[in-house]
Amino acid sequence: MTAPKKLFIKTYGCQMNVYDSERMAEAMGGQGYVETSDAADADMILLNTCHIREKAAEKVYSELGRLKKLKADKPDLKIGVAGCVAQAEGEEIMRRQPAVDLVVGPQSYHRLPAMEERLREGKTALDTDFPEEDKFEHLKARPKAKRAPAAFLTVQEGCDKFCAFCVVPYTRGAEVSRPATRVLDEARDLVERGVREITLLGQNVNAYHGQGDKGDVTLAGLIRELAKVDGLERIRYTTSHPNDMDDDLIAAHGEVPELMPYLHLPVQSGSDHILKRMNRSHTAESYLRLIERIRAARPDIVMSGDFIVGFPEETDADFEATMELVREVKYGYAYSFKYSTRPGTPAAERPLVDPQVADDRLQRLQALITQHQQEVQQSMIGREVSVLVERAGREAGQMLGKSEYLHAVHIEASDAQVGEIAKVRIVDSKTNSLGARHC
């Protein structure tokens, strides 16, 4: 019996890349590959890359330099680059690093089996097209193996917003939504294999408009249909744009019990001047009024956001407007970054803020965000929450999981099983997690 070939995938970036890596592994399973956690043991290595952060491409080339040494000792090893850096760099990757055998963009990875056949013929393979066919339709059915209790499910890809700092429209293409019927079928399949919580993914997920049996389905409509799936206890979605947060989606937060009270809604800046230069198409005031409406629909909701500091032309007054917005919203979580130039984007041609000034602003913003995060966590002490148990902890009898508010929770002296939703009382707040005991 021929031993299976081994596939190692290193995933960079967002949850959508995590989902894509899963589907790549499944696609290659049909070619006789099984996953390994050891790159040195692999017959094929895929780097599933992200192009959002600064120097993303250089980090990939650095990793490829290390893998080149591995290939020198194992000449039959195949090395591939997938994802957004692959889309952006294309043939340049193979030119700069001849050890690479395969380059595939994020919209073409359903073609991996055919590309692998080219490798077996001694050829290289490059595919960074934006194919007309639906890649999800061409992927093999997901294997029936049991899954972890929480899973990602991509429902929308691409973005039409063209924020001045962002490469997504160029690497992922225009907004495309998967048909609602196929999303529901995949969700049911996941639930059959033990999934109890699904996070719907999209570069701009609340722009979702997929075809259903009775016509166009919005994200709110999709959530309401998913809530009817027997065994699916929890629904989340990310990442959203304020301009696509419609009335029905806001209402769903108060009307659909399965939709968890957590929302990631990036704003990027609190300054109208900077928001305009970012091409965000909303104002700080409109964003704050939107938060008010969301909290009116679901008063206990925990808000999360994204911020970029040091964007070209950002003044002290612009930065202070961001700090003021953060003080008003009081995010339970937030992700903040110093602006990094993405070649080919409109903002790339603008003069940069002094790096030391940007560093100082980032530290001040992160300190404020951390203060609010700790306050939100402290407010949870004494409350009863529901925790989806995901795995055992390091200490005997300890189980780990996520609350409905997406807090990581350590349950002490627990006999709960993985996949169970446990009722617990929060007794302690740690740096990035909560401690709890069964009620």
Structure tokens at 168: 């997504």
What is the Cα–Cα distance from 47 to 25, expressed in whole angstroms? 12
SS3 388: strand
To the question of whether residue 50 is assigned a binding role by annotation, the answer is: yes
To the question of whether residue 439 is assigned a binding role by annotation, the answer is: no
Q: How far is CA 110 from CA 10, 24, 60, 73, 147, in A?
A: 18, 7, 22, 30, 22
Task: Name the helix (H) or strand (E) containing 395.
Answer: none
Neighbour count for residue 319 (Cβ, 10 Å):
25
**Among the listed residues 379, 387, 427, 437, the one whose alpha carbon sits nearest the alpha carbon of residue 407:** 387
Helical residues (DSSP H) of 144-257, grouped into ranges = 168-171, 180-192, 219-226, 247-255
**Among the listed residues 183, 110, 185, 196, the one whose alpha carbon sits nearest the alpha carbon of residue 147:** 196
Q: Is 139 exposed, middle or buried (0-12, 13-18, 19+ CB in 10 A)?
A: middle
Q: Which residues of 207-244 are buried (b: 16+ CB within 10 A; e: fewer)?
A: bbbbebeeeebbbbbbbbbbbebeebbbbbbbbbbbbb
* Phi–psi pair at 34, nearest 5 degrees: -120, 150
To the question of whether residue 159 is assigned a binding role by annotation, the answer is: yes
At CA 14, angle to CA 153 and CA 18, rounded to 5? 50
Which amino acid, one-letter code, is at 143? P
Give the DSSP letter of residue 257: T
What is the Cα–Cα distance from 311 to 65, expressed in whole angstroms? 32
In the annotated binding site for [4Fe-4S] cluster, the residues are 14, 50, 84, 159, 163, 166
In the annotated binding site, the residues are 14, 50, 84, 159, 163, 166
